[in-house]
Amino acid sequence: MSIPNPIDPNLLLSRREFTASTAAIGAAAAFALPSFGKLSALREENTLRVGVVGCGGRGTGAVIQALKADPGSVLWSMGDAFEEQIQSCLHYTNESMLDLDDEQGTDAWSKKIQVADRKFTGFDAINQVIASGVDVILLTTPPAFRPEHLRLSVDAGKHVFCEKPVAVDAPGVRSVLESAKIAKSKSLSLMSGFCWRYQDQVKETMHKIHIGGIGDLHTIQTTYNTTGWVQPKARKSGWSDAEFQLRNWQYFTPLSADHVAEQAVHAIDWQAWAMQDRAPVRCFGVGGRQTRPDLAETGNVWDHFSLIYEYDNGVRGYHMCRHWPNTPSDNSAYFLGSAGNCTMQVWNGNHTIEGETPWKGTAKSNDMYQREHDVLFKSIRNNTPVNDGKFMSHTSLLAIMGRMAAYSGKIVTWEEAMNSQVALNQQSWSFGERPTPTTPIPGTIEEI
């Protein structure tokens, strides 16, 4: 089985391609549209202005989902480190809107793009998007910038959609926890990109586990094994160190947090969710860089991790992730309990329990990416703010803690991880010189 890359379904190229890609993950509700009657009756004061910062694959997907989620949402301003990313995002968003117009026989959707000249580039784009008068901001840059962007957004009173992971290090996680509190105190909605929390089949299975469907849970196994990752880009002349790293951000730990925390964090989130977001006592693990070609553009990140989390109630969580070409993919979870074992294969919708009371999940699949935005915009309209701040920070730290343990070779406690003072981006970001981070060697790292 090959695992669809969670990045792919979100880059909306055209209606046909999108429908095909979402069908691949069983997203039947991908094109559930709000009524056009409602949209055309829209008054100016009912508009929700959306800004996006980080106009890549996920930013483009999130824009389209935000525009579909609410009859009054309009794309108001855009920010990215690079101009062409804004153009590309706008192109695909426009194309999808036109496609929908054709299908529906109306140009109502096209009117949702109201960006005009509110397109901002560089590292200061976040400030300009905020200042442009948006109501909702989509934070979809590489994770390194999330804590700062989130704080600026909630300080300015914006509702936020915030992609995962929320940080690359513990100081970032602590900052996000603080920002979540600020959002709460201001009645702002804060939606995370931990999309499985909004997928009905996984929700049903988690509920089943929580109500004792497998008896007492004692072991969790999760995997995120894939054969590859985003294609790295060779350095072009004229690119500064910073630009080179940004264009290959997945491959540099200070930008991405490494794949265990950037990508496999989705599977680690299933563990967190099954444990009802209880913190583990400690974690240890192994990993390395075995098959990644040693190129400048493949940075310093590892290509495999294997982690063991221990909880105070005796539960153990085992997580494995890898990027190894020519090997089998797997992205699934197994929950073992005193009365049965649950298998959760999210990509083919196989959710079963074998044991004392056998069970098969009956929930229908849904487009979890769209659902996130539907919930977010509804919460804004109803003034019932959603706030994912705590669990999105907790799960991000869980994965970062695993990376700390594997990189260092040490046993890392939750307290050590949460209180870690190691900041991966001490030098602030600007286009210029930047040292290349080294590939970690276990046993040589003092501070985690």
Ligand X SMILES: NC(=O)c1ccc[n+]([C@@H]2O[C@H](COP(=O)([O-])OP(=O)(O)OC[C@H]3O[C@@H](n4cnc5c(N)ncnc54)[C@H](O)[C@@H]3O)[C@@H](O)[C@H]2O)c1
Query: Which residues of this protein are in contact with ligand X, per CB under 6 A?
Result: 6-7, 10, 53-59, 79-82, 85, 123, 125, 140-143, 145, 163-164, 193, 195, 246, 262
Tokens of 401: 């803690």
145/377 with CB nearer ligand X: 145
Q: What are phi and psi of 79, to 5 degrees?
A: -135, 140
Looking at beta carbons, which residue is closest to ligand X? 56
**Whether the Cβ atoms of residue 75 and residue 112 lie closer than 8 Å to each other:** yes
Rounded to whole angstroms, the Cα distance separating 69 from 171 reads: 33
229/414 with CB nearer ligand X: 229
Q: Minimum distance between the CB of residue 431 and ligand X, rounded to whole angstroms?
A: 11
Q: Partners of 80 in the beta sheet?
A: 121
Cα-to-chain-centroid distance, residue 267:
11
324/431 with CB nearer ligand X: 431
Contacts of 447 (CB under 8 A, 6+ apart): 420, 421, 422
- Comparing CA positions, the residue from 357, 362, 364 lying closest to residue 213 is 357
Crossing angle of helices 389-408 and 170-185, rounded to 10°? 180
Q: Minimum distance between the CB of residue 408 and ligand X, rounded to whole angstroms?
A: 23
Q: Minimum distance between the CB of residue 340 and ligand X, rounded to whole angstroms?
A: 29
| 223 sits in which H/E element | strand 217-226
160/217 with CB nearer ligand X: 160
101/241 with CB nearer ligand X: 241
Q: Minimum distance between the CB of residue 272 and ligand X, rounded to whole angstroms?
A: 15
Q: Minimum distance between the CB of residue 141 and ligand X, rounded to whole angstroms?
A: 4
53/74 with CB nearer ligand X: 53
Q: Minimum distance between the CB of residue 146 and ligand X, rounded to whole angstroms?
A: 7
DSSP state of 349: T
Tokens of 129: 């998007």
395/408 with CB nearer ligand X: 395
Q: Minimum distance between the CB of residue 323 and ligand X, rounded to whole angstroms?
A: 14
- Comparing CA positions, the residue from 132, 177, 200, 185 lying closest to residue 346 is 200
